[in-house]
Structure formats: structure tokens, C-alpha cells
Amino acid sequence: MSRTRDKEIVIDPRTWVDPFEILPTSDEETTLQESIVQVADILESSDSGKCVCCGQTIKLYPRKFSNVMGKFLCKLVSLWKHRKSNKDWISIRRINKGEKASSDASYLVHWKLVKRGKVGLYRPTRKGEKFAKGLIRVPSHAFVYNGKFCLGLSNKLVSIDEVLGEKFNRNELLNTKWTK
């Protein structure tokens, strides 16, 4: 029996599994450097695989710059120009007001179009403002590992208007004064 923060955890010996029995095993002769090379080889291929050290799935996911991300960025830029001070951060709740929340906004960090503050708070970068206004183009895809790490961007460039498509109007999004 062990204690964790005033809660008792009773381990039933009949169901106990030794953690070392369920952890992935690897060749004891494999060095850390060789394991890193194996992970890199899997990431460079279009296949997925398992890490020889921890058993985690290894796959590089191409994350497309979606119209939802473009709409979020335009609304963020619009709200940003009406902020009260340079220290302000914009809440994702304010941006998604009345709409289904999307986690796609957090991926804009990979393109360096937004900065993320505390949980749910964002501000556009200068690059993000330029992209939203149609002044620059950005890569169409970010290559993301484990949902967090951007390991590269595609060579194909897209404009904000291409991203938004016919579904959204950039000027309308940028020029609407979004309510608090």
C-alpha cells in the first residue's frame, strides 16, 4: 500500500504488472546516437514507426494552413488594432465568441504569425499582421511532430485570400469591429 496526497492507493497483487514488463524493449547494444538516427530516419520517410527508447509513435504530420486558422488570424488582427495598450493579449474566447472553438489557432505559432501568452491568450506578430493584410505569403504546410514541435515548413507559399477561399472575406474580417 502506498500513499499519494492523502489518498490511499491499494495495489492488488493479483493484477500487479511490473512496469518493466510493459515498457518497450530495445537492443541493449543500441546507443542513444543510433536511436536518434533511427528516429530521424523515420521522420524523414513518409512512414510512421515506434521509438526504440520509449515506444511512442513517431510520425511527422503535415498541418495545412486552414481557412479556420486564417479567419482566426484576421479576427485577432482586427481586435489587436482596437486594443487599449501594447501590453494587451486577446482572449481566444473573445475571438471565437458565439462560434465553435477551434484548437487550430494554436498552430499559427509554427508559422510565427502569433505569439501565445498564458492559456488562451494570443497576439499577432508583425508577420501575422502583414499576412492577414495580404502583404506577404507564407508556407502552405507546417510539418509537426507530436502535435507540438514544428520541424519545418513547406516550400509552397499561399496568400491569406487563397487560405480563406470564397468562404470568408479578408477585408470584412479585418474591418469588422468585434464586440467584447
| pLDDT given at position 101 | 57
Task: Specify the number of domains making up the chain.
Answer: 2
Note down the domain range covering 32.
Answer: 2-58
Contacts of 68 (CB under 8 A, 6+ apart): 102, 104, 105
pTM of the model: 0.70
Tell me how far apart the alpha carbons of residues 65 and 104 are, in angstroms, rounded to a whole number: 9
Do 84 and 96 reside in the same domain of the chain? yes
Which residues does the chain have with pLDDT short of 70?
1-30, 84-86, 96, 98-103, 168-180
What pLDDT is recorded for position 149? 81
Are 91 and 12 in the same domain?
no
Q: Is residue 180 part of a domain?
A: no
Contact 83, 90 (CB under 8 A): yes
Q: Give the 3-state secondary structure of residue 127.
A: helix
Q: What is the pLDDT of residue 62?
A: 86
Residue 172's pLDDT is what?
A: 67
Question: What CA–CA distance (Å, rounded) separates 154 from 130?
Answer: 19
Shared domain check, 120 and 90: yes
Contact between 115 and 122 under an 8 Å Cβ cutoff? The reply is yes
